[in-house]
Amino acid sequence: MKFYEVHDPYYALIKADNKEDAIRIYTDNVADDGDNLGISEVTETYAAVRHSRTYDEDGKPLSVKEVLEDITNDNEMVLGRDGNLI
């Protein structure tokens, strides 16, 4: 798995097999417009640290166990998104 970060138009941290899948996940789950995304690949360590600073649906920080499970499983997913979209 690879990790991607989008800053514009809305922030997202995405885990995907490749950049094309990351763009698809972004447009399906974050924002409808996938054109001209400021998307870049980031390291697993960077993604883990950023993801550890996100909050669950109840507004509580994720546990270390949750972060590690999300980072190491084989599922493509949005790991974090712009707080204004929640």
Question: What mean pLDDT is predicted for residues 5-16?
Answer: 93
Q: Let me know: does 54 contact 62? Beta carbons within 8 Å.
A: yes
Q: Measure the CA–CA gap between 73 and 80, rounded to whole angstroms.
A: 16
pLDDT at 58: 87
Task: Please state the domain count of the chain.
Answer: 1
- Domain containing 77 equals 2-85
Question: What mean pLDDT is predicted for residues 40-55?
Answer: 96
pLDDT at 8: 85
DSSP letter string, 24-83: HHHHHHT-S--TT--EEEE-HHHHHHHHTT-B-TTSPBPPHHHHHHHHHSS--EEEEE-G
What percentage of residues in the chain have a pLDDT greater than 70? 93
pLDDT at 51: 96
> Higher-confidence residue: 58 or 86?
58
Q: Measure the CA–CA gap between 3 and 7, rounded to whole angstroms.
A: 14
pLDDT at 85: 55
